[in-house]
Amino acid sequence: EDGSLECFDLRAKGSAGYLDAAARCGALGQELTALRFDEAGMHVAVGTRNGLVGLFDLRSQRPLVVKDHMYGSPIVDIKFHSPPGDAMGSNRRVVSSDRHIVKIWDINTGYGYTSIEPTEGEINDVCLWPNS
């Protein structure tokens, strides 16, 4: 509701960490509408109601990258993607979408590889084909 993310360790009786993610992305008070942890569990990407995606290292309060979808629509889905043969993870990408556009961008720099905009209808999910 308020743009904050709180993580819990079920083995402990309290919060493991708290992050005002929306505010750190520049969207103070905006609701988080999407969330995805990477495969290693060290990075989390959050999407806001106003179309921002923030990528965080869980050891830091500052976002590594903030990506604006430029439509002002809620982010509906976020996925992490590694191309085949990228054993070191140096070419990992983030796939994020709102109802208007799917953006594929570099996890380290935010550089946009491509975007996909349907001519009709709205996007509500993104499915990635394995090893593609």
Look at residue 98 in the predicted model and tell me its pLDDT. Answer: 96
Query: The pTM is what?
Result: 0.90
Relative to beta strand 75-81, strand 112-116 is: unpaired
Look at residue 109 in the predicted model and tell me its pLDDT. Answer: 92
Look at residue 87 in the predicted model and tell me its pLDDT. Answer: 63
Mean of pLDDT values over 43-49? 96
Q: Distances from the Cα of 110 to the Cαs of 46, 78, 94, 116, in angstroms?
A: 14, 14, 9, 16
Would you say residue 89 has pLDDT above 80? no
Look at residue 24 in the predicted model and tell me its pLDDT. Answer: 94
Would you say residue 56 has pLDDT above 80? yes
Q: How confident is the model at residue 9 (pLDDT cuts 50, 70, 90)?
A: confident
Contact predicate 56/83, CB 8 Å? no
More confident position, 6 or 13: 6
Task: Out of 45-49, 115-119, 128-132, pick the least confident.
Answer: 128-132
Contact predicate 54/25, CB 8 Å? yes
Token duo for residue 132: 């593609």
More confident position, 92 or 103: 103
**The tokens 């996925």 sit on which residue?**
79
